[in-house]
Structure 1
Amino acid sequence: MRVALPLKQLGLVAVGARYDVAPLEQPQIERRRIWHDSAYWIPLLLVYTGCRREEVAKAMVSDIELIDGIWVLRVRRTEAGRVKTESSVRDVPLADEALRLGFLSYVDHLRSAGAAALFPELGAQPGKFGDIFYKKWWRGFERAGLVPEGKDMHSIRHFVATELAVAGVSEERRADLLGHTVTSSETARTYTKRTPLVILQQIVNMIPVVTSAIMPLR
């Protein structure tokens, strides 16, 4: 059974993904440049969307769209990979905090550079994008002590689901956001349409903010 990451530890993971770098041959230089790539954005997007790691890691630049005035991550089958189930196909609004942190600036930079993948560096190796991220970065977070023992990347998704349940979000609406299949209330799902995007936007903004100390990407 997976257990949600506690709020404090979740904040450490998210903030820990932000780090300064300096040339290795000049370690004495004060570090001023911030590295923004999959190590920075994937943990933040996992927190502020509740998506599965592969859904975020395999995303294409074209999957970030403005629909009815709402910026979303479109979870769908692309050349980068399939989706887990039919219910996984969905549009996930980007939380206000993800926008504040400058995610759209990152996307614009990739578009200007002609990149297709949202995290091009993960496509340089064979395998699923989420698995590559885990080996490339998550293990490093674990070695750095940012991830409590017994927790994994899915614990972030469990955190989102738990927090939304505590906040009173219905099972059907949580399922629509997270790409789950409703099992305990099939009758309700049969006669209920998918949650409108504007409501899903309100729901993602109910996820606790754990990155208020991070300055946005400019």
Structure 2
Amino acid sequence: MIQDHHYWVNLLLGYTGARRAEIAGLLVDDFGVADGIPFVHVRPNHLRGLKNAGGRRRIPLHPHIMELGFAEFVEAARKRKWVALFPQAVPENIRHLAHVVTEDKDAHDPKFGDVLDYMLRTSLDKALNGNPRKLSCHGFRHYVNDHFASLRQDDGSTLAIPDVDRLDVLGHKPRDVNLATYRRAEKPLRPLYQAILTLPRLF
């Protein structure tokens, strides 16, 4: 199996629920470890902005991602002096900036990651006899959100993953006024990591 940008981006989408541009536009320096928890730091950079202010966040990484060698992939990219973690995923019209170091910030581009989505849908068309459910990159986001929203504690009614943690992982803007008021500016990794750990292994 070739562990290229298609491999890692789709795995990260399935284990984070992030938007495709958020993952496809990561820089090498966006990978980190804090308190023993590996994470990717989703933040605006010179290749792509974010959809909203809530999109800026740290997302803990599922153990399966680490077991598959993601830290080693990042380290190899660092040794090659890459700037963008997935330079091949950067749109062709700005790919010349993939190895540029700059503090400039780009605007949100809803089409960032279109090629990745096209490749995934094309593969699913062949593998799933036409992909009748029309699965795509965005489907990973729905999957993670639905998983968190449906989990319940033993009483059968209390949410196992608090809404604030679900929203913080996904970078959603809260609709609830109270939740928006008391939402944490600095999102602690530990509760978000506990949420990520509830995701079943994809394979």
Q: Normalising TM by the smaller chain, what interval? A: 0.7 to 0.9
Residue 149 of structure 2 corresponds to residue 165 of structure 1:
yes
- Match in the other structure for 1:155: 139
Rounded Cα–Cα distance in structure 1 between residues aligned with 2:31 and 2:37 = 10
Indicate if the aligned counterparts of 2:117 and 2:136 stay in contact, CA closer than 8 A: no
| Residue among 117, 130, 138 paired with 1:134 | 117
Indicate if the aligned counterparts of 2:16 and 2:196 stay in contact, CA closer than 8 A: yes
- Match in the other structure for 1:214: none
Indicate if the aligned counterparts of 2:124 and 2:135 stay in contact, CA closer than 8 A: no
- Match in the other structure for 2:178: 187
Equivalent residue of 1:144, what SS? helix
Q: Which ranges of structure 2 fall in alignment gaps of 5 or more residues? A: 95-110, 152-159
- Match in the other structure for 1:97: 64
- Match in the other structure for 1:145: 127
Scaled by the length of structure 1, the TM-score of the pair is 0.74
- Cα 1:190–1:152 shift into 2, 3 Å: same
Rounded Cα–Cα distance in structure 2 between residues aligned with 1:124 and 1:86 = 23
Letter of the 1:157 partner, please give it: R
Rounded Cα–Cα distance in structure 2 between residues aligned with 1:178 and 1:143 = 27
Indicate if the aligned counterparts of 2:24 and 2:90 stay in contact, CA closer than 8 A: no
Rounded Cα–Cα distance in structure 2 between residues aligned with 1:86 and 1:176 = 11
Indicate if the aligned counterparts of 1:125 and 1:132 stay in contact, CA closer than 8 A: no
Q: CA deviation at 1:113?
A: 1.0
Indicate if the aligned counterparts of 2:90 and 2:113 stay in contact, CA closer than 8 A: no
Q: Which ranges of structure 1 fall in alignment gaps of 5 or more residues? A: 1-33, 212-218
| Residue among 196, 199, 202 paired with 1:207 | 199
Letter of the 1:37 partner, please give it: D
Indicate if the aligned counterparts of 1:172 and 1:189 stay in contact, CA closer than 8 A: no
Which moves more between the two structures, 78-87 or 138-147? 138-147
Aligned residue runs from structure 1 range 20-169, under 5 A: 34-123=1-90, 125-126=92-93, 128-135=111-118, 137-146=119-128, 147-167=131-151, 168-169=160-161
Equivalent residue of 2:66, what SS? helix
Q: CA deviation at 1:124?
A: 6.5
Indicate if the aligned counterparts of 1:142 and 1:148 stay in contact, CA closer than 8 A: no
Indicate if the aligned counterparts of 1:88 and 1:180 stay in contact, CA closer than 8 A: yes
Q: CA deviation at 1:126?
A: 2.1
Equivalent residue of 1:181, what SS? coil
Indicate if the aligned counterparts of 1:169 and 1:203 stay in contact, CA closer than 8 A: yes
Which moves more between the two structures, 80-89 or 67-76? 67-76
Rounded Cα–Cα distance in structure 2 between residues aligned with 1:115 and 1:92 = 22
- Match in the other structure for 1:216: none
Scaled by the length of structure 2, the TM-score of the pair is 0.80
Rounded Cα–Cα distance in structure 2 between residues aligned with 1:148 and 1:118 = 32
Indicate if the aligned counterparts of 1:57 and 1:130 stay in contact, CA closer than 8 A: yes
- Cα 1:139–1:126 shift into 2, 3 Å: farther
Q: CA deviation at 1:150?
A: 2.6
Indicate if the aligned counterparts of 1:171 and 1:182 stay in contact, CA closer than 8 A: no
Letter of the 1:158 partner, please give it: H
Rounded Cα–Cα distance in structure 1 between residues aligned with 2:89 and 2:14 = 20
